[in-house]
Amino acid sequence: MPVDYRAPNINARRLGMHLRQLREALELSYDAAAILVGCDVTWLIRVETGFEPVTPEQVRTVLDRYHVPPHKIRNLIVDLASRTAGPPWLAAHVGRMKALVRDLLTLEAEAPTIHTFGIHLMPELVRTEAYARMWFEQQVPEVDADQEWDLLSNRQRHRPGGRRRTLEVIVDENTLTLPIPADIMRGQLDHLLGLIDGAYTTVRVIPMSVGAHAGLHGAFDVLEFPDIKERVSMVHGALGIDIARVDLTDTWKLIEQVALPPGGSRAMIIRIRAGLPG
């Protein structure tokens, strides 16, 4: 199915939404706002709908003409104008993905805090290259493993706003005991242990002894953003990622209640690693 390139990137649409809300709060028509800003009405409409490329300097001009004072929301809007096309590394891959996936990966790149839950399979953002390539090779239809790893490794290395991302990871015990080649699993467990020892990532495990729990419906991520109350939840399935129908923050809180604390999780990972053959 061809990608609908008519849909602007979600960052451009978010920027336009903020500018539209400001104009409407000032009770300005398009004509009145265009006169105030000193621009063409068509240009303003295209900016508010995400179809017109705009620079941070142009956005500052609009905000100045709207008399928007220094504020964290003003800073957020100007900052957003610097990356309306999403992260630079995504550009090489957008031609092969649906607009929804492009937008979800753009939002992921914006989120400084991500809660990610994996069941049976390791969450994408903490997969090692060997682990990831193993699953790329199993995908139907076939995918270019080099291309997919380039995309995933950029997602993992990305720093929103140039800062390290806070990543909270929860997996079920089955994820750590899946019967895959021991060398690949050993490398993956070592990677998790390294993340646990870092300052920006927590890794916790839900033991099998817990039985039924809220996470059995499937893997998901909850994205949090600075200065914005709304969260975005993504689900992971056999067909890839999709937007969740509801905010899964409450689900995350429920699985947190049954997950082992970080120390106990670390001990379990070490024990499972020690039991691997070879």
Buried b (16+ CB within 10 A) or exposed e, 134-158: bbbeeeeeeeebeebeebbebbbeb
Q: Tell whether 99 and 237 lie within a shared domain.
A: yes
Q: Tell whether 245 and 125 lie within a shared domain.
A: yes
Q: Tell whether 74 and 122 lie within a shared domain.
A: no
User: How far from 18 is each of 13, 37, 106, 188, CA to CA, in Å?
Assistant: 9, 16, 17, 42
Does residue 2 sit within a domain? no
Q: Which domain, by its residues, includes 217?
A: 88-274
Token pair for residue 153?
A: 């490794």
Q: Tell which wins on pLDDT, 7 or 213.
A: 213
What's the CATH code of the domain at 120?
3.30.870
Q: Tell whether 49 and 94 lie within a shared domain.
A: no
Cis omega before residue 87 (within 30°)? no
Does residue 3 sit within a domain? no
Per-residue pLDDT band at 3 (split at 50, 70, 90): very low
Task: Give the pLDDT of residue 2.
Answer: 43
Eight-class DSSP state of 127: -
What's the CATH code of the domain at 50?
1.10.260.40
Token pair for residue 184?
A: 């690949």
Residue 70: phi, psi to the nearest 5? -55, 125
Task: Give the pLDDT of residue 1.
Answer: 38
Q: Looking at the predicted structure, is the pLDDT value of residue 132 above 70? A: yes
Does residue 1 sit within a domain? no
pLDDT tens for 67-91 read: 999 888 899 899 999 999 999 999 9
Q: Tell whether 102 and 192 lie within a shared domain.
A: yes
Q: Tell whether 112 and 42 lie within a shared domain.
A: no
Average pLDDT score, the chain:
94
Q: Which of 40, 58, 83 is the last residue of a domain?
A: 83
Helices 129-136, 182-196: axis angle to 10 degrees equals: 130
Task: Give the pLDDT of residue 6.
Answer: 55
Percent residues over pLDDT 70 in the chain: 98
Tally of structural domains, the chain: 2
Task: Check: CB of residue 41 under 8 Å from CB of residue 28.
Answer: no
